[in-house]
Structure 1
Amino acid sequence: MARKARRARYHLSLLDAHSLPKGELYQWANPDKMHYKELADRVSFFKKTKEGEKTMTDIIELYAAKRAKEAVQKTAQARNIELAKDLLSEGETIERTVRLSKLSEAEVRELASKLTA
Structure 2
Amino acid sequence: MATDNALTQTLLIVIAAIVFLPVLMMAVAMPIMGLWGGGHMWNGTGVSWMWALLSIVPLLLILGVGYLLYRGVRGSETNRPDPALEALRAAYARGDLTDEEFETRRERLTRE
TM-score, normalization by structure 1: 0.34
Determine which structure has more spread, i.e. the larger CA radius of gyration: 2
TM-score, normalization by structure 2: 0.36
